Amino acid sequence: MKRKSYLNWSWIFMIAFIVLSVLDIRFGLLGIICMTVPLYHALRGRGKIHCSHYCPRGSLLGSFLKNISLGNNLPPFMKQKTVKNILLTFMVVMFSISLVRAGLNFDKIAFSVFRMMMSSLAIGVIMGIVFKPRSWCQICPMGHATSLLK
């Protein structure tokens, strides 16, 4: 069965996530959904369907940057598996450290998730302006982790 893509409007979830988290940092925990759903689909044997059909971040980058992107190609070295592995490891280590430092404080955990989400979005936006709009998707740790599972 051919699945419908929601990429032309799923960016709404990313905007809603940002607004809600700014209003109340506890909503930052919703970012865990964004981190785990791609892995869930991959583990169910659906490969990178999250990236191609649903991802709010990918949708936002693709929808909002297409008119301002310089459209350059990503340098080949950035597409290397080693670079993706380093970035994935870096993200996991940094996120783990921030969770340990947050202890059992609910607000701090939520802030850690929110900060991780915003860091990747900020890098994605900068990359999307300098290179093609969804260049971040070529090195995204979640996308890479998903491809390792599929």
User: Which residues, at least 6 apart from 110, have a Cβ–Cβ distance to it below 8 Å?
Assistant: 21, 25, 26, 27, 28, 29
The answer to whether residue 137 forms part of the interface with ligand SF4 (CB under 6 A) is yes
Q: Tell me the window of 88-96, 98-106, 107-115, 132-140 that interacts with ligand SF4 (CB under 6 A).
A: 132-140
Query: Measured from the CB of residue 109, what is the shortest distance to ligand SF4 in angstroms?
Result: 21
58 touches ligand SF4 by CB under 6 A:
yes
Give the residue with the Cβ less far from ligand SF4, 37 or 102. Answer: 37
Site for ligand SF4 in 5-44 (CB under 6 A): 38
Q: Which residues contact 14 (CB under 8 A, 6 or more apart)?
A: 56, 57, 59, 60, 121
Closer residue to ligand SF4 (CB): 94 or 102: 94
What span, in angstroms and rounded, lies between the C-alpha atoms of 142 and 85?
11
